[in-house]
Amino acid sequence: MEMSSSPRTVEEIFKDYSARRTAVVRALTQDVDEFYGLCDPGKSETKLGKIEKIQNVNKENLCLYGHPNESWEVTLPAEEVPPELPEPALGINFARDGMNRRDWLSLVAVHSDSWLLSVAFYLGARLNRNERKRLFSLINDLPTVFEVVTDRKPSKDKPTVDSGSKSRGSTKRSSDGQVKSNPKFADEGYEEDEDEHSETLCGSCGGNYNADEFWIGCDICERWFHGKCVKITPAKAESIKQYKCPSCNMRRGRP
């Protein structure tokens, strides 16, 4: 809602995101009874009023906001169009009595995650590509609001280079050779690709994984290589059904 001094750097935007996230998490966990009460679709008092029937505020589209000072608020959406910031889910109060409380809180949490991301990248609209990737990486290191609310612990033991290479290798067939630079992008999402490949080293030159470069995995030893190091282009990879790196080719040729 408020943006007295708009965050500009990756660090400032992440600090803003973290504070809003903390506020939303508190509303859905620590202050859940108060939050639940404020979303009563039949209630006619406002949080600010002295039990006056000013208007049936709770019968309108209420939203859950997290603010940069780590406070949360259940209120009506901004009147201006377009609003200063992206708006969270409207009318969270309407479904409150129509579903299980835990399910309703989980649904609000999912929409809150979406809102927090939209605010962060709205504030980061002027960031360059690398800055946006860094912001996403910082955000992705935190559990989502949904994970916290549903008590789902995010997995910290992502597959290692060795244990995860088979799944990565399976995505480099001819049907999706165009995404060799992001071996898991087509099936499992950009964020997992960044985490799993951050420690991957080229089997030829030993260089680190870079999402901006074309990579190919060997189906025999399951190591990964820069395309340029093994002289394989994305176009050439399209026609390869089973790729064998130079070392494996030499090993297969020995008696």
In tens, the pLDDT along 126-138 reads 999 999 999 999 9
What CATH code would you report for 200-254?
3.30.40.10
CA-CA distance, 78 to 45, in Å (whole number)? 20
Mean pLDDT for the stretch of residues 188-199: 50
CA-CA distance, 161 to 100, in Å (whole number)? 42
The model carries a pTM of: 0.55
Indicate the domain borders of the chain.
10-44+57-150, 200-254
Mean pLDDT for the stretch of residues 20-31: 96
Over 90: is that where the pLDDT of 53 sits? no
- 226 forms beta bridges with 215
What's the CA dihedral at 130, 131, 133, 135 to 10 degrees? 170
